[in-house]
Amino acid sequence: MNKTSQQICYSIIWKKMSVLVTAALVLFPGVLLGQGKKTPRREASILFSDGKISEGTILLTPGVDFRLVGAANSGTFARGGKFGKVRTFNLNVVREITFSPGNEFYTKSFRFHPETKEKIYEGKPYPIREPVCTVAFNSGEKMTGTLHGVVLYLKEKDPDTGMNLRNRKFILRSKLKGKPGEKLSDVVYITRIRMLDEGDKITRSLDVKLLSLDPPSAGNLMAMTRKSLTPVPVKTDKSDGKIKVFSTFGENVFLAARIGDKYVAGWPAEGAKQTKLFKAVEKQFLKFVDYYNERKLLGILPTDGGRRILTLVSLRRQVPDTATRSYPGWFEVDGNGELMEFFRLSVWSWVRDPETGRMVLVDRGSFLRIRIDADAKTPETGICPELWPIVKKDGKILVGKTGKPVEKAGKKVEK
């Protein structure tokens, strides 16, 4: 499958996911829209490309976050290039958002010739602008990339009197399109959103203290934020040997590690028991159509009375024996034309109707994604009791239970 076919396949997957999320909003509106939590609101100043400024209270649609696709090539944006990881966040952790011109070009409307199927361009050219988004966070970190389309609401205020003027709605788009005959300068867009209040205070990094597991026993420690399911860096400070997790933006985390040849994640032991709820969730999980066709449920973590379910899952994409490079199936090909298979250890977030047991996938995140040989066995996976619970306290992440023996070099040593 060529690059264009891959992009089409991924586009189809993304559209199907959007449809499922929309269905979830219809089926479970009380669960998704806010889930009983307040939607972050900020006081901000919005600058437009024509020089106009609006000030007031801003917020996103309840239950919706920003999704920023980080640029893979050091913050620069190249049309058709590679992209980095997706970062999910809301207004509470943001200091400033800026948009600058990325790709700018003109194009025309077209139709296909009924016989030759060639494109026939017609009409006046119209401008296209693909803005680059840079977010400065309260922790001092910055990230540049492409922002997924999102609706921003503004309760505009008079900057002199503070009186409310009107309610406005803006759609922050990844691609701005002008009208035929217009110039790029005619396409007005938001260039900066600067927060006028402090927002949540967050730190760049948090110390990780393992209470039940010896650090050398937890090789390749990995972390994922608990709410937004974003993989974040874990590093060991060479100067003092402390483990640190970065860019959590105030969230607690899930942790995973490679212990020997087994990939494990911190998860409550009761979540791995074959209960009635576990089996019901597993049945729905295995029915779900997804790119990864070999799936195993390792654990569940229900919240909100079972209306929201987090699942720890092992995933593998097995390429069918009949697949070839020209086969239009959902698989990937490397630079040498070889079919690729991948393995993931992931957490998926679902909303569930307790009455019917129906579930809709609303988000997912992965600790790791590695390529494996087609004839190799799927890596062994499971939960690790020593990596649970994970408590965020006083700028630290405390992992495991206090007073328990520490596992070290294959034996138990009292702490």
11-48 per-position pLDDT tens digit: 444 444 444 444 444 444 433 333 445 789 999 999 99
State yes or no: pLDDT of 365 exceeds 50. yes
- For the chain, the average pLDDT equals 82
- Region for 377 from its dihedrals, namely left if φ exceeds 0, alpha if ψ lies in -120 to 50, beta otherwise: beta
Per residue in 125-137, pLDDT tens?
Answer: 999 999 999 999 9
Burial of 311 (0-12, 13-18, 19+ CB in 10 A): buried
In sequence order, what are the residues at sequence separation of 6 or more whose Cβ sits closer than 8 angstroms to the Cβ of residue 6? 332, 333
How is the chain split into domains, by residue range? Answer: 1-32+267-383, 35-195, 203-264+390-415
Half-sphere CA count of 275, side-chain side, radius 13 A: 12
Q: Closest Cα partner for 69 from 126, 10, 16?
A: 10
Q: Give the gyration radius of the chain's Cα atoms.
A: 24
State yes or no: pLDDT of 327 exceeds 50. no
How far apart CA 346 and CA 256 sit, in angstroms, is: 10
Q: Which residues of 275-296 are buried (b: 16+ CB within 10 A; e: fewer)?
A: eebbebbbebbeeeebebeebe
How far apart CA 96 and CA 98 sit, in angstroms, is: 7
Amino acid type, 4: T
Residue whose structure tokens are 């997912």: 364
- Quick one: tokens of 67? 């999704």
What's residue 77's pLDDT? Answer: 30
State yes or no: pLDDT of 377 exceeds 80. yes
What's residue 164's pLDDT? Answer: 84
Per residue in 38-70, pLDDT tens?
Answer: 789 999 999 999 999 999 999 999 989 999 998
